[in-house]
Structure 1
Amino acid sequence: MENILIVEDNFLIAQDLKQSLEKNNFCVVAIVDNAEEAILIINKDKIDLIIIDIVINGKINGIDLAEIITLNYQIPFIYLTSNSDKKTIAKALKHQPKSYLIKPFTDIDIFTNVKLALANKPKNETKKASSSIIIKVNGEYLKINFKDVLFINSEGNYLKFKTAQNEYVVRMKFKDLATKTPVYITQVHKSYFVNLHKVSLFKASYLNLDGVKLPIGRTFKNTVHEMLKNI
């Protein structure tokens, strides 16, 4: 039975959606109305599909949540919204949802789109809990344990891995890195992944790792704060 997370701020719609899914033998793991709680559920439970309303409670909207999921978890998702204007749709589609459903929905709409989303899900599309990564430095292959990493900085087509003792620059993009990192190595800014276990201090717009001050992006702020509070 596939596990589905619903992110919807309208209680009645969320309940209708839950009933429709359970009637067709899907397991609704949780219903949340904001991105922060959604990320906590994703980190705790095995989720096969997420249904996201674009307008949700909190400072992170559904499209921003979709971006975080795409970068950090690679879990397929479906948008569910009453907003059908072209500008919103174009922005939402940038993160490659499996489908885009307009409210009001029917049982057959939900069943068909959920089945298609799950059928097209690659076997390796869930987040891997890797403990290390192999990188090529100066023609040699080096194994880096993620627990030793302080942060990873994006510099164009290159990534800089920073540990307490060394730093390594490799040709790799963030989107390729995201499928290889454990949950505690998470994105906090468009240019930074950090090891949450190494954070010694954090405030609204920045955090500190081993004396290095790094920015927290607006899109990631609330989610990062919640994750740090639960480490």
Structure 2
Amino acid sequence: MRKIVIVEDEPELANNIAELVSLLGYQVAGIFNNFKSCLLFLNENPVDLVILDILLKGEETGIELGRTISNTYDTPIIFCSAYTDEQLLQQVKSIKHSGYIVKPFNRQILKTTIFLALNDKFVTPPSSGKDTLHVRDKGYLIPIEFKNILIAEADGLYTKIVTAKKNYLIRAILKNIEEQLPSNKFLRVHKSYLVNLDHISSFNSKGVKINDSIVPVRRGYFKSLKELFSN
């Protein structure tokens, strides 16, 4: 059974969330109202998800706790708050998280957000000195070497990473993926496509062939592609 930690400074609301979590078929691993007690628990107990309020008891906020959890553990975070002001959302945006629930919320919203968080796939920046992307797939971190990535294709707020063996749909826009890949190996040939130059078998002004796939080429990008191969 998936284990979920709830961090909420209002006892009654914390108990209500815990009841909903249990009714949805998950185990409530712990309920905390402050930064320190939650981290002490996480240091000793692996969990699958943290539902985290922005306002907590003590000096540290949920933002600071979320950042610490994100930097220390591979544990999805769902932020929970009654506040939606832009300054707060900008702080949340800077932290890797899997959902943001606005209070008050109902069982269906909680159910959907938890499901997506536990089954989501996201990419984390590569470790320094390693030519890999780390993709979380079904709860496991999977390192994908840059050389094995054939195509990166935009799909709204997601990006499809195409390799010879498997495709991964990850929660990251193409622009963010492009920033993590080496510019001397990957080229944007269309607003929705990045391709690995080492895997191009042929191309013309309309398309690039990589393995059995044909990736469209946008007119403005063809010149850069042609110049690279000419050189």
When normalised by structure 2's length, the TM-score is: 0.53
Q: Match for residue 29 of structure 1?
A: 29
- SS, match of residue 75 in structure 1: coil
Shift of residue 59, structure 1, vs aligned partner? 1.5
Q: How far apart in 2 are the matches of 1:96 and 1:102? A: 18
Shift of residue 60, structure 1, vs aligned partner? 1.2
Shift of residue 124, structure 1, vs aligned partner? 3.0
Report the AA paired with residue 124 of structure 1.
Y
Shift of residue 74, structure 1, vs aligned partner? 2.3
Q: Match for residue 124 of structure 1?
A: 140
Deviations 1:158-194 (A, max 9, x none): xxxxxxxxxxxxxxxxxxxxxxxxxxxxxxxxxxxxx
Q: Match for residue 48 of structure 1?
A: 48
Q: Of the two, which has the highest radius of gyration? A: 2
Q: Match for residue 15 of structure 2?
A: 15
Report the AA paired with residue 20 of structure 1.
L
Shift of residue 73, structure 1, vs aligned partner? 0.9
Q: Match for residue 177 of structure 2?
A: none
Q: How far apart in 1 are the matches of 2:28 and 2:93? A: 24
Shift of residue 65, structure 1, vs aligned partner? 0.6
Shift of residue 28, structure 1, vs aligned partner? 0.5
Q: Match for residue 62 of structure 2?
A: 62
Which one has more relative contact order, counting CA pairs under 8 Å at least 6 apart?
1
Q: How far apart in 1 are the matches of 2:45 and 2:70? A: 17
Report the AA paired with residue 38 of structure 2.
A
Deviations 1:116-149 (A, max 9, x none): 0000152335xxxxxxxxxxxxxxxxxxxxxxxx
Q: How far apart in 1 are the matches of 2:89 and 2:14? A: 21
Shift of residue 41, structure 1, vs aligned partner? 1.0
| Regions of 4+ moved over 3 Å | none
Q: Match for residue 188 of structure 1?
A: none
- Aligned residues with identical type, % of pairs: 28
Report the AA paired with residue 69 of structure 1.
I
Structure 1's unaligned 5+ residue stretches are 126-231
In the alignment of these two chains, the number of paired residues is 126
Deviations 1:87-115 (A, max 9, x none): 10111121021011100010001000000
Q: How far apart in 1 are the matches of 2:93 and 2:18? A: 24
Q: Match for residue 2 of structure 1?
A: 2
Q: Match for residue 94 of structure 1?
A: 94
Deviations 1:15-38 (A, max 9, x none): 110011100110000100001011
Q: How far apart in 2 are the matches of 1:14 and 1:80? A: 11
Q: How far apart in 2 are the matches of 1:42 and 1:52? A: 13
Shift of residue 82, structure 1, vs aligned partner? 0.7
Deviations 1:186-224 (A, max 9, x none): xxxxxxxxxxxxxxxxxxxxxxxxxxxxxxxxxxxxxxx
Q: How far apart in 2 are the matches of 1:70 and 1:11? A: 25
2:55 is the alignment partner of 1:39? no
Report the AA paired with residue 110 of structure 1.
L
Q: Match for residue 85 of structure 2?
A: 85
Q: How far apart in 2 are the matches of 1:34 and 1:17? A: 16
Superposition CA RMSD, Å: 1.4
Q: How far apart in 1 are the matches of 2:29 and 2:96? A: 23
